């Protein structure tokens, strides 16, 4: 795709939307900072992973190799010219916006400060809605991890998910929640 075509697509269809930016391995934090300096809003969910000796933890991206970027009206500079950026995630060579509901769920999980971790499997399951606690209104799938109940929220375009621990009393079947 030509650079001029990409600029046209960005200005016509992506303003006000979130997109996924694929970046070089371990470059998520750098790219996020550079995009912020260009005037873009970014979202980079991080989690802490203990190193072998468990005395030290490192902060890593929940979605390794990706940064979420909000395309605003006043953003300047092309995303693809940012050092570390490989491509804009999309379909048939065109950037594809991430549905607002998926981004709202991810942002809400990050805002709570609850412990979270990457969920690498992309499985179908019974959808649930959180009806209580700081994640009220989020929708996802419930999974059990190490005897803890986790809400798994997916970004379908990336075929990746994030899991956050939730109390059993916070969730109900999405079908039940819709009928209220």
Extents of the domains making up the chain: 3-95, 100-178
**What's the distance, Cα to Cα, between the start and end of the chain in Å?**
47
DSSP string, 49-80: EE-TTSS-EEEEESSTTEEEEE--TT--S-GG
pLDDT of 169: 72
Tens of pLDDT, residue by residue over 67-102, are 999 988 777 678 989 999 999 998 887 889 999 999
Q: Which of 82, 63, 77, 74 is nearest to 156 (CA)?
A: 63
User: Which tokens belong to 160?
Assistant: 């990746």
pLDDT of 177 above 70: no
**CATH class of the 100-178 domain in this structure:** mainly beta
Per-residue confidence (pLDDT) for residue 121, from 0 to 100: 44
Contact 20/64 with Cβ under 8 angstroms? no
What is the pLDDT, as a whole number, of residue 68? 97
pLDDT at residue 122, rounded to an integer: 41
pTM over 0.75: no
Look-up of token digits 């956050």: 164
Give me 105's structure tokens.
């769920």
pLDDT digits (tens, 9 = 90+) for 19-59: 999 999 899 999 999 999 999 999 999 988 777 666 777 88
At the fourth CATH level, the homologous superfamily of domain 3-95 is NusG, N-terminal domain (3.30.70.940)
CA distance 147 to 68: 31
- Separation CA 173–CA 165 (nearest Å): 17
User: Within 10 Å of residue 55's Cβ, how many Cβ atoms?
Assistant: 7
């Amino acid at each position: 795709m030509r650079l001029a075509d990409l600029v046209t697509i960005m200005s016509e269809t992506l303003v006000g939307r979130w997109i996924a930016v694929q970046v070089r391995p371990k470059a998520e934090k750098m790219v996020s900072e550079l995009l912020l300096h260009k005037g873009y809003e970014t979202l980079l969910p991080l989690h802490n992973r203990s190193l072998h000796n468990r005395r030290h933890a490192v902060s890593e991206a929940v979605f390794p190799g990706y940064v979420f970027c909000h395309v605003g009206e006043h953003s300047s500079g092309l995303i693809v010219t940012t050092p570390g950026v490989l491509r804009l995630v999309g379909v048939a060579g065109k950037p594809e916006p991430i549905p607002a509901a998926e981004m709202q769920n991810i942002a809400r999980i990050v805002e709570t400060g609850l412990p979270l971790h990457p969920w690498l499997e992309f499985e179908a399951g019974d959808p649930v809605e959180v009806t209580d606690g700081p994640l009220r209104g989020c929708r996802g799938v419930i999974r059990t991890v190490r005897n803890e109940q986790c809400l798994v929220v997916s970004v379908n375009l990336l075929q990746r998910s994030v899991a956050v621990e939730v109390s059993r009393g916070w969730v109900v079947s999405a079908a039940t929640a819709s009928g209220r």
